[in-house]
Structures are given as structure tokens and as C-alpha cells.
Copies of this chain bind each other. A is one copy, B any other.
Amino acid sequence: MNKNYSVKQLAKLSGVSVRTLHLYDKMKLLVPQLRTRAGYRMYGEKELLRLQQILFYKELDFTLKDIAKILDEPGFDIIEALKGHKKALIQKKTRINILLSTINNTINNLKNKTMLNADELYDGLSPQLAAAYRQEAIENYGNEVVERAENYLKKLNKDELKKLVDKQKQLGASLYELKAMDPTSAQVQELIAQHYTNTRKLWGTDGLTDKQAETYKGLGNLYLTDERFILTGDRHDPTFAEFVKDAMAHFADEQLR
């Protein structure tokens, strides 16, 4: 009771295009069961199953050539192929993470350059801008953190705020000098400790005694993706952000708690 499928039927069934089936036929990846007198391709159940397999491996981003090997060479080591592929995927993912961090930095740099000058930063944001930032910050870091920071900042006067911000920047510059070092080294950790103190002042997190470590670690991850909260300034440098994150994580694990 074997059914037969024309190109179009098989195409619709499997979700690929007719052209694709033509291609697979020509490259002998999926040859029809038979041809009619007119030359029409006819596929059977066996071909449908094989197509399913092809599509499975294709979803894993294997090339058609590799898929042919997997399906046709009986001694082919599929597990090794999968493992190799896994490695490649992990590398891709790592690269994407770096790209994303770079892109975020770039976006924020551009925003700052075109929409803000330094004075505005200290004099308070324009209402529209503040609203937009607030919304974005809430989406990214949660309501609680943003509100606490806001309430705290309201109580600070300009001079106090400027002092803290300058201190953060200076710490950033100092850390940047050490970026080739071990993030867990004493020298780096000393700066991180200062940064931690300063950050607590800036973010008003003095009350968070039981979640301090977790929060500070979270802040490190945040540094990886958002330049507004960062000490790297103009430097497009994902490796530095990574370095800072590691240093902060170590500090949180070792010094706190």
C-alpha cells in the first residue's frame, strides 16, 4: 500500500520547495523512486523518510554534502560528526555573544554622542529622554532595581553625584590598565573593592545586606551588555568587560558573604 508523491506533493508535505527537490535529485541526495514515461519524478514512502532525515540534519546546519555522507556511507562516524559540529556551534555562539556586547556598546555610544552631551548627564535628563531610558532600564534590569536607584539619585545633589560618577570613571581607567592581569589578583581586587563601595553609594544599595553578593555579580554581567552602567567609557572592548565581570564575580564570591 505504498503511496506515490509528485514533486509538488512531496514539497508541500515536507515544506521544501520543488526546486530543492530537483537539486537534491541532481546531487543524488534524494533520488525519486521512479520516473514516469514523461520524465516526471515520483517519490515513495522510503524517499519521504529519507527526506525527513535530510531535513533533520539540515536543521542542525550540516551541509548537504555531509548529510549525504551521513546517510550513505555505512561506516561514517555520526557521533564524531555531531561532536565536531557541536564545537563549531559553541564557537559561533561565543562569537555572537561578543558581537552582541559590541553592538550594545555601539548603540549606547551613538545615543550618547548624538542625543546627550556631558552637561545634560549631570543636569538631569530631559523628561522625554528620561522616560525612554527608564522604560528600557526597567525592561532590562527589573522594576525594583530601577526604582531604588531613582529614589536614591533624587536625594543626591549635583556635586555629590558628580563626585561619585568621576570616581567610577577613574576606577574604570585604573582597571583598564590592569586588564592583562589575573582578575583574581590582589591588585585588581583592591580596585574592585573600591568600585563596590562606590557602586553601593551610587545605586543606593546599602540596605541590601542579604543579597549583596548576588546583586554585585549581576552588575558584572550587566557590564557586559550595557555601557551606560559601565566604567569602560569610550573603549569598545568586550574583553575588558569580560575581565571586569570576572573580577567582580570573584570579589562577590570571596569577599562578601
**Residues 49-107 of A at the B interface (beta carbon under 8 Å):** 59-61, 78-79, 82-83, 85-86, 89-90, 92-93, 96-97, 99-100, 102-104, 106-107
- Which residues of A are in contact with B by a Cβ distance under 8 Å? 59-61, 78-79, 82-83, 85-86, 89-90, 92-93, 96-97, 99-100, 102-104, 106-107, 110-111
The 7 A-B residue pairs whose C-beta atoms are closest, nearest first, are A93-B96, A82-B107, A86-B103, A89-B96, A79-B110, A82-B103, A89-B100
A60 touches which of B60, B79, B85, B103 (Cβ 8 Å): B103
Q: Contact at A103–B79, with CB atoms within 8 Å?
A: no
Q: How far is the CA of A99 from the CA of B100 in the complex (A)?
A: 19
Q: How far is the CA of A111 from the CA of B78 in the complex (A)?
A: 10
- Complex contacts, A89 vs chain B, CB 8 Å: 96, 99-100, 103
- Seed contacts A79-B107, A82-B106, A92-B96; 17 additional CB < 8 Å A-B pairs: A59-B99, A59-B102, A60-B102, A61-B99, A78-B110, A79-B110, A79-B111, A82-B110, A83-B107, A86-B100, A86-B103, A86-B104, A86-B107, A89-B100, A90-B100, A93-B96, A93-B100
